Amino acid sequence: MTVSNVINDHPHVKRETRDRVLVAMARLDYRINVAARNLRTGRTGTIGLAVPEIDRPYYGQLAAAIVDAAAKHKLNVAIEQTGATRERELSALALSRNRLYDGLILSTVGLGPADTELLRVDYPVVILGERIFDGPVDHVAMPNVDGARAATAHLIDRGCRRVAALDLGDDEQPGDVSVSSLRHSGYRQALTEAGLPYDPALVINLQQFTMEGGAEAASRLAASGQRFDGLFCVTDTVAMGALRAFATLGIRVPQDVKVIGYDNVSESAFLVPSLSSIDPDHGLMARTAVQLLVERIQHGVAGRAVCEVVGGFRLVERESTAL
């Protein structure tokens, strides 16, 4: 017991006793058994992070920020890949429920508003991303609508009059709060505010939010014969694919078309041309998500009212939208 007190830095241990214990520990090459401690305390010291795919720049950079933020609370981070499927997002939830993790940060993409009730669980969860509003758990959201509006307004401000978009358009159910539909509505708002018409022919539906998807959609846009002088892309990764496709097609950026993305991943500054983007401050989002989770872990799941945090953003102007 005194050994336990020494290990956990409890007071009421005589200096000399502590030293004797420490010497013995060193001599025996003693290692604490984390599993036994977990069983006894009910805590694991690990939080789960479920993201669609860790090899996408956006999630990689988010994960790095979360690992750092968690380390400040002495928490480890276990990463789960959900492949953006509803099923595997639910299975990530189940793992936490098994007390493998003290809490879970879940980047929702597959879960929809219909799944709200499934999130009503008795252990700490923070949603990072969209698709579920007014759910039963804390939520750290990006300024999707405002950011997309600012991005589109920036294109218009730079003289674009036929602004296209690569996203999922209005393809989804009403009431949809996916990242794509939120950003899409920001795009539409900016057009309206500038007195420009919304032309569905300028909205190209992506197959996936990847570089491949962006390149393919941009090629379809160019092949459609529609005139366009600006392009809003739902993510920087998609924009990267679009820039590549335009280069192949001989479409010059920014001379022929100005392009802007969303996320401001670190690659964007190094593209040719460098990519203008909306920077939602990943670091702050990560710190906030971890902070909210830690509060739930420490004060119980019902410790305070559910809260919803929406971050700010910054418009980063680069070559792809230069005059």
Q: What x-and-dash track marks residues 5-44 binding its own copies by CB under 8 A?
A: --------------------------xxxxxx-xx--x-x
Would you count residue 28 as binding DNA (CB under 7 A)?
Answer: no
Query: According to the binding rule CB under 8 A, does residue 189 interact with its own copies?
Result: no
CA distance 54 to 80: 9
Q: Which amino acid is at 265?
A: V
Q: Between vectors from CA 283 to CA 120 and to CA 126, what angle results, nearest 5°?
A: 5
CA 185 → CA 102, 132, 166, 190, 198, distances in Å?
36, 17, 13, 9, 11
122 binding DNA? (CB under 7 A): no
Pick the closest to residue 162 from 192, 188, 198 (CA basis): 198
- Here the tokens at position 44 are 């694991």
Least distance to its own copies from the beta carbon of 100, Å? 5
Cβ contact 124:79 at 8 Å: no
Binding map of its own copies across residues 37-76, x = CB under 8 A, - = no contact: -xx--x-xxx------xxxxx--xx-xx--xx-------x
74 binds DNA (CB under 7 A): no
Task: Give the integer Cα–Cα distance in Å for 317 and 261.
Answer: 10
**Which of 16, 29, 55, 122 touches DNA (CB under 7 A)?**
16
Binding mask 263-292 for its own copies (x = CB under 8 A): ---xx-xxxx-x------------------
Q: Which of 215, 233, 259, 290 binds its own copies (CB under 8 A)?
A: 215
Q: Is 46 in the site for DNA (CB under 7 A)?
A: no
Give the residue with the Cβ less far from its own copies, 53 or 295: 53
> In the set 9, 14, 302, 305, which binds DNA (CB under 7 A)?
14
Euclidean distance between CA atoms 237 and 215, whole angstroms: 10
Q: How far apart are CA 106 and CA 38, in angstroms?
A: 23
